[in-house]
Amino acid sequence: MRVLIAVGRFHEDERGGAYRIAADCAYELRDRGDDVTLLCEGLAGAPEIEEREGVRLLRYKQASAPTPYERHAKSASAALRWHMQEPPDLIWGHSPFQFLIAADAFPQSQCSYVVHSPLSLEMLSRHDPPQLADRIKSALGKRMERRCLERAQVVQTLSRFTRDTILRLHGGSFENKVVVTPGWADTRVFRPVQDKLEMKRELGWRDDVTNFFTVRRLVLRMGIANLVEAARILADKKLAFHLYIAGTGELQSTLQKQIESQQLTKDITMLGGLSQAQLAKAYAACDAFVIPTHALECFGLIAVEALASGVPVLSTDVGALPETIAPLEPQWIMHADAAAIAHQLERFLRGELPRHTSQELRAYAHAHFGDGARRSFVDVATKITGRNLTAPAR
C-alpha cells in the first residue's frame, strides 16, 4: 500500500508531539511492508528528498505568495507532482496545511486525519487576552480545520477531551467519523535507570535535594510562568528542591528574566532544547515530573514518557491530562494556578502524596500507552483502505 503522511515537520528536524506521532506512524507502516512517503516543510539546508530508515522524506520550502496557505501549497504541490507519479492509496494528515494540499493533489485517495489540537483554540491561546490578530487567525483556522474534517473519511483524536471539543466547535455531524485513539511512548527509549543518583551526577544535576523536571514549548499556554512562581513560593518557605526546565520558545528570555528578578537562579535551571537521548536521561534522573499547563492539553505525551521512565507525574487538571494520569493516581492532579502548583509540590516534598514504584508506573504506561496503542492507532487510520488490521501488506 502506498501511504502519504502529511505533517508540519519531520520530528528529527523539529521536536514536537504531533511530529513524533507522525514519524512513529510512518515507521510502523514501513514495518508492515508499506511504501511510505512523509511530506513536510523542510528546514534550511535539509535535502528535498531523502530516505530515512525506510521512509521517504519529501521536504519543501515555502514559496513567495500572498497568504500562508498559498506559500505552502505552491511548493508542496510542485514537490508532490514531481516526486509522486502514482497517487497514494491513503493520505494520512497530521497537520492541516499539508493534509489539504495533499488531498487536493490526489482527490481520488482515501484520507484519514488526526486532530492533535484544535487549530482555532491554538490561535486563541497565544496571548492572554487574545489579540485581534489571534481572533482572525482563529476564525481562519476553524474554517481550515472544518475542511479537513469534511475531506477525511475517518478523524482521529488522542483523547475524549479533543473529540468533545471538536464536536462542540464544528457540530455533531462529524460524530460518526471521529474515533478516540490514544497516543503512546516508546518504552524502549523511555525507561527507569537502576541508579538515579548516578544519573543525576552524569547530568550535572544536584544530588542533595529533590529534583523536579518539566519539558515544554516555552509558550503562554504551557504555564511555565506559573511554575516559576510556584518555585518562588517554595523557596520563600526554605524548602529544599531544584527545578529543571527544558524546552525552547518565544518566552525563553522572559522566563529567564522572571527567574533572575525573583532571585531563583540557585533553585531553577533552564536547560534549553534536549535531544531524545538527553530527554530520556532527564526523565529518569528526576524525582517528579511536573506539567503546569493552563490551557489546551490534548493528550499529554510527556506524561506518558515520564511514567514509562518510572517517574511520578504531578499535573494540572487541564484538557486531557486527567484522562491520562488520574486512572493511575487521582491525587497527583492539581489546579493550574501558581498557588495550587506550589501546594502540590510542597505536599510531594513532605511525603504527603501517594507514591508508586517505578515498576508500577512503567507497567501502567506500557499497558495503556505502549506498542499496542501505536498499532491500534495505525489500524484505525488504515482500515478505510480495506486492509486487514495489523496484517502486514503483501
Residues 174 and 202 in one domain: no
Locus of grid cell 507514591: 355
pLDDT band of residue 394 (cuts 50, 70, 90) is very low
Range of the domain at 209: 196-369
Residues 64 and 125 in one domain: yes
> How are beta strands 55-60 and 49-52 bridged, if at all?
antiparallel
Residues 154 and 273 in one domain: no
The phi and psi torsions of 307 (rounded to 5 degrees) equal: -60, -40
Q: Residue 281 has what pLDDT?
A: 98
Residues 257 and 296 in one domain: yes
Q: Residue 15 has what pLDDT?
A: 85
Residues 229 and 326 in one domain: yes
Question: Sign of the C-alpha dihedral, residues 214, 218, 220, 224?
Answer: positive
Q: Tell me if 189 is assigned to some domain.
A: no
Residues 375 and 227 in one domain: no
Q: Tell me if 54 is assigned to some domain.
A: yes
pLDDT band of residue 393 (cuts 50, 70, 90) is very low
Q: What percent of the chain has pLDDT over 90?
A: 93
Residues 220 and 172 in one domain: no
Q: Could you report the per-residue pLDDT of 144-157, keeping only the tens digit for each? A: 999 999 999 999 99
Query: Cα(290)–Cα(315) distance, rounded to whole angstroms?
Result: 6
Q: Using CB atoms within 10 A of its CB, is residue 385 exposed (0-12), middle (13-18) or buried (19+)?
A: middle
Residues 311 and 337 in one domain: yes
Extract the C-alpha cell encoding 45.
Answer: 539546508
The number of distinct structural domains making up the chain is 2
Residues 240 and 315 in one domain: yes
Indicate which CATH number applies to the domain containing 15. 3.40.50.2000
The DSSP secondary-structure symbol of 128 reads S
Alpha helices, DSSP H only, in the chain?
Answer: 17-31, 68-83, 96-105, 119-124, 132-151, 160-170, 196-203, 224-236, 252-261, 276-285, 301-308, 321-325, 338-349, 358-369, 371-382
Q: Tell me if 230 is assigned to some domain.
A: yes
Please, what's the largest Cα pairwise distance for the chain?
66
Cis preceding linkage at 130, omega within 30: no
The phi and psi torsions of 27 (rounded to 5 degrees) equal: -70, -35
Query: Cα(168)–Cα(173) distance, rounded to whole angstroms?
Result: 10
Written as one string, the DSSP assignment of 90-107 is EEEESSHHHHHHHHHH-T
**Distance separating the N- and C-terminal Cα atoms of the chain:** 8
Q: Are 219 and 249 in contact (CB under 8 A)?
A: yes
Q: Tell me if 392 is assigned to some domain.
A: no
Query: Cα(179)–Cα(318) distance, rounded to whole angstroms?
Result: 21
Q: Are 159 and 320 in contact (CB under 8 A)?
A: yes
Q: Residue 387 has what pLDDT?
A: 66
Query: Cα(366)–Cα(363) distance, rounded to whole angstroms?
Result: 5
Query: Cα(287)–Cα(210) distance, rounded to whole angstroms?
Result: 6
pLDDT band of residue 391 (cuts 50, 70, 90) is very low
Is residue 369 pLDDT above 50, yes or no?
A: yes
Question: Sign of the C-alpha dihedral, residues 202, 206, 210, 215?
Answer: negative
Share the mean pLDDT of the chain. 95
Q: Tell me if 238 is assigned to some domain.
A: yes
The DSSP secondary-structure symbol of 313 reads E
Higher-confidence residue of 166 and 17: namely 166
Q: Could you report the per-residue pLDDT of 76-90, keeping only the tens digit for each? A: 999 999 999 899 999
CB atoms within 10 A of CB 202: 12
Query: Cα(331)–Cα(344) distance, rounded to whole angstroms?
Result: 9
Q: Tell me if 53 is assigned to some domain.
A: yes
Residues 236 and 284 in one domain: yes
Q: Tell me if 228 is assigned to some domain.
A: yes
Q: Which residues are CB-neighbours of 175 under 8 A, at least 6 positions away?
A: 167
Q: Tell me if 390 is assigned to some domain.
A: no
Residues 343 and 308 in one domain: yes
Residues 46 and 114 in one domain: yes
Which of 43-47, 288-292, 335-339 has the weakest average pLDDT? 43-47
Q: Could you report the per-residue pLDDT of 247-268, keeping only the tens digit for each? A: 999 999 999 999 999 999 999 9
pLDDT band of residue 20 (cuts 50, 70, 90) is very high
CA-to-CA dists, residue 298 to 11, 62, 221, angstroms: 19, 28, 12
Query: Cα(65)–Cα(322) distance, rounded to whole angstroms?
Result: 42
Locus of grid cell 506500557: 366
Q: Are 335 and 222 in contact (CB under 8 A)?
A: no
**pTM listed for this prediction:** 0.92
Query: Cα(293)–Cα(333) distance, rounded to whole angstroms?
Result: 12
**Which residue type occupies 175?**
E
